[in-house]
Chains A and B, each alone.
Chain A
């Protein structure tokens, strides 16, 4: 069957119906896809991708207003991957939604590919802004949210940051500016998985209490379990109107490497690495078994 998705300029509206089971399954699918892409390229960020899989799944399959056939549509909701090192979790999603052909995934990691380890807005359709240098994207998102206000458009701008990223001073310049300009159309989501590249985040430099800090800067804060799909849906469904006066911070408490036992036990070891073929088989089996179990449960409840 010919792939016609890239020609489809239909709008994916906010709050698209999707079951919790489907979103959980989608998050695990993201994990499997990331494992494949990393195997293909030879190196990648496993545990950071896994900690935000439910967040990415919920945003892209439920929350964001998008037009995959028209990636630069001015009224689309923006999504910035501040923690750009987890792009392996985003490339399969954008392909699946029709931003580009899924065949492009085979080019990941190769010279000349539009899909790189960190996203590049000039190369990949669906990337609203490039990232890779931690600490920049909340500033960029603040600019996008300001642009929304100036142009009287009602899009939202979501920025997904890591918790270690919050150690960058520029983040707090942006936090100040967003609050100063009362940007209720801006949502920062902190993937608070507790670990940075070299160890526990707050052991390197304490960033807590996160919720109190954002609140003290004038943000509206929601602190949630970042793996709990119903809570994620509900949190994004009940965001204040885009015309509201307070930027929103969702502190998503997550586990680095979530969903795979060996990653959760050693999240730091699997921040950046490459599974051996045997390890990869074990990881895939663990995730696949969970997905099959969820399918069986869903069928059982539907019958």
Chain B
């Protein structure tokens, strides 16, 4: 039997606890957060492997619901109405897209503290085909009036934002990026709705969420070292509420903003920046390193990222185009 040389899917499971945070950031983070709050429960619709640590630590606070995502969302709303704080761990394509109406009607409209932690977002399940993609999820989630939308940049950001969800009295969607490269050396303190500024520059702005943050940081370093361009770089992990002041400030200064995300060009971070710039009447050139609004190709994630330019080289190329504009 040959050993696969390509990484077929960006997900981690069945890992030992010592590498838990690195290998399974959201599973580790919820276990840590739940230790301090008895109201927290976890639910999955046949995704128990991502909660190995939690189930070991709190077997009575884990509720398996089988392959029935819609039921899991409405049921969690019922639990929340009785004082519990349920975290549903779900595959983003099913947890968000299939359950959008249950989320809106049962969770969002009722302001209930249900959290949907979306694993396998973006193209993380690329090899399995487009049914398994979640590239529209942010566009959908951020139109719900009361839902906080988060996309942490790396494992330390996952822990930071997961801690922030514990006390938040309202619905939360947290989109987990499986292919994120490390950005933070320690757990960052990110005030609600703000975008940490990771590099300071004047020539252009790079903003990303999830895996886009690591790409932005590395691209900025290349732009500086090889092209003499200094970039303002932001972690846009808070997608709702987002940092309107930071967008206005940086767009006003650099006049050029490139957004980076494993999401369709519609409705995500690119749209957030465009809406803000228009609302603030700022003159700026905008560009997106994102997924096109067409049928997407199927393949292993790393090859898809290459294909769609969601690599350091791809982001540098888009940034250079923008810088010349």
Q: B-contacting residues of A (Cβ < 8 Å)?
A: 74, 120-122, 128-130, 132-133, 136-137, 139-148, 150-151, 169-170, 173-174, 176-177, 180
Contact = CB atoms under 8 A, between A and B. Distances in A.
Contacts of A130: 105-106, 109-110
Interface string B159-185: 000000000000000000000000000
Contact of A140 (B63, B68, B74, B111): B74
B70 A143 contact: no
A136 B78 CA distance: 10
B3 to A, nearest CB: 39
Contacts of A180: 66
B75 A174 contact: yes
Nearest to B86: A143
Nearest to B104: A133
Interface residues of B toward A: which range? 20 to 34
B276 interface: no
A230 B256 CA distance: 75
Contacts, number: 97
B102 interface: yes
Nearest to A146: B79
B65 A170 contact: no
B81 to A, nearest CB: 6
A142 B78 contact: yes
A5 B121 CA distance: 52
20 contacts: A120-B109, A133-B105, A136-B105, A140-B74, A140-B75, A140-B77, A143-B77, A143-B81, A146-B63, A146-B78, A148-B82, A150-B41, A170-B71, A173-B65, A174-B71, A174-B74, A176-B68, A177-B66, A177-B68, A177-B75
Interface in B98-115: 101-102, 105-106, 109-111
Nearest to A145: B78
Q: Majority SS of interface residues in chain A?
A: helix
Contact of A147 (B74, B84, B109): B84
Interface in B18-65: 41, 60, 63, 65
A146 B68 contact: no
Contacts of B84: 147, 150
Given A139-B102, A141-B78, 10 more contacts: A74-B82, A130-B110, A140-B77, A142-B71, A143-B79, A146-B78, A147-B84, A170-B71, A173-B70, A177-B75
Contact of A143 (B68, B74, B110): B74
Contacts of B60: 150
Given A122-B111, A133-B105, A136-B105, A170 B74 contact: yes
A122 B81 CA distance: 11
Contact of A146 (B73, B74, B75): B75
B22 to A, nearest CB: 32
B78 A147 contact: yes
Contacts of B110: 121-122, 129-130
Given A143-B78, A147-B78, A170 B111 contact: no
